[in-house]
Amino acid sequence: MGNVGAKDVPVLLSPEGLRLDGRRLDELRPIRIEAGTLHQADGSAFVEWGQNKVMAAVYGPREVHPRHLQQNHKAVIQCKYNMAAFAVDERKRPGLDRRSQEISKVIAEAFESVVFAEEFPRTSIDVYIEVLQANAGTRCAGLVAASVALADAGIPMVDLVPAVAVGKVAGQICLDLKKEEDNFGEADLPMALVPQSGRLVLLQMEGHMTEEELGRSLDLGVKGCREIYDRMKAALRERYALTPVAGGAA
C-alpha cells in the first residue's frame, strides 16, 4: 500500500507528484466565501473550503459582558471557536475543550494585531466561529470567515487576514492539507498573514521539518494567503456590489 510503509497509510503522493485529490503541491482546495450570510449579526461570513464548512459572526463593538473584561482604552476582542458535535467523524462532546480554547485564544490575538481597537474604548468585539463540518484546516477557515465577518461588520482594521496551513506530506512541502495529509503527513504549519505589512499574526507548527523546509513552507504559505486574500476581497465586493479599487484593505 503506502510508500511510507505503515499498514493504514494511503498513498499521499502519486508518482506524478499529484496529491490524493489530484492537486499539485502548491494548489489550494476549492474555496467559496459568502459575506453577510446572517441577518442578526453585525457582520458574518460562511466559508466552504474543501470539505470544511465554517460560519462566523461578529457582534460589536458593543457593551462588554462580563463587565470586568472591559478595557479603558480599547475594545476587547473576544473570540469563541467552537465545533459542532457532528462536524467530525467521532462525535465531539458539545462544549468547551482545551483545543477550542487554545484556537480561540490565538485567533483573538491575531485579530488584536490588526483591529484599531483603540477607536472603541470599553467595548467588546465578539467573534464567533462555528465549525459545522471539519476536514483539516478549520482554524484557518475559521480565521478567514471571521476576518471577512469583521470587515462586513465595518470594524476598522489594518487589513483582512487570510490564513492557510502548509505541511510536509510524503517528504514534500504542500499547501493546504486535507484530512488524510494532516493525519499521515510529517508536519502541519498553519499561518495567517497581514498582506499590508507582510507579517504573520498566527503561526503554529506540529511535526518535523528541516530549517530549509521551514523556509520554503513559509514562502509557500504566504503565496497561498495572498491567493485567499483575493477571494476574501471578491466576496466582500460581491456582497456590496462593488467594483475593485486599487490599493487599500477593502
Interface with other proteins (CB under 8 A): 36, 38-43, 51, 53, 55-57, 59-63, 65, 72, 75, 80, 82, 84-91, 94-95, 116, 120-123, 126, 128-130, 132-135, 151-159, 196-197, 236, 240-242, 245, 247-250
Q: Which residue's CB is nearer to other proteins, number 124 or number 217? A: 124
- Please, are residues 24 and 18 in contact by the beta-carbon 8 Å criterion? yes
> How far apart are CB 207 and other proteins at their closest, in Å?
24
Burial of 79 (0-12, 13-18, 19+ CB in 10 A): buried
Q: How far apart are CA 137 and CA 116, in angstroms?
A: 27
Q: Please report how close the Cβ of residue 80 comes to other proteins at its closest, in angstroms.
A: 5
| Closest approach of other proteins to the CB of residue 190, in Å | 20
Q: What are phi and psi of 235, to 5 degrees?
A: -65, -40
- Nearer to other proteins by Cβ, of 205 and 249: the residue is 249
In the complex, what is the shortest distance from the CB of residue 101 to other proteins, in angstroms, rounded to a whole number? 11
Which pairs count as long-range contacts for 215-220, CB under 8 Å and 24+ apart, including other chains? 216/173, 217/166, 217/167, 217/168, 217/173, 217/187, 217/189, 218/166, 218/189, 218/191, 220/26, 220/166, 220/173, 220/175
User: Closer CB to other proteins, residue 133 or residue 204?
Assistant: 133
State the Cα–Cα distance between residues 76 and 217, nearest whole angstrom. Answer: 32
Based on CB atoms, which residue is closest to other proteins, 151 or 187? 151
Q: Residue 153 in 3-state DSSP?
A: coil
CB of 244 to other proteins, least distance (A): 12
Nearer to other proteins, 6 or 246 (CB): 246
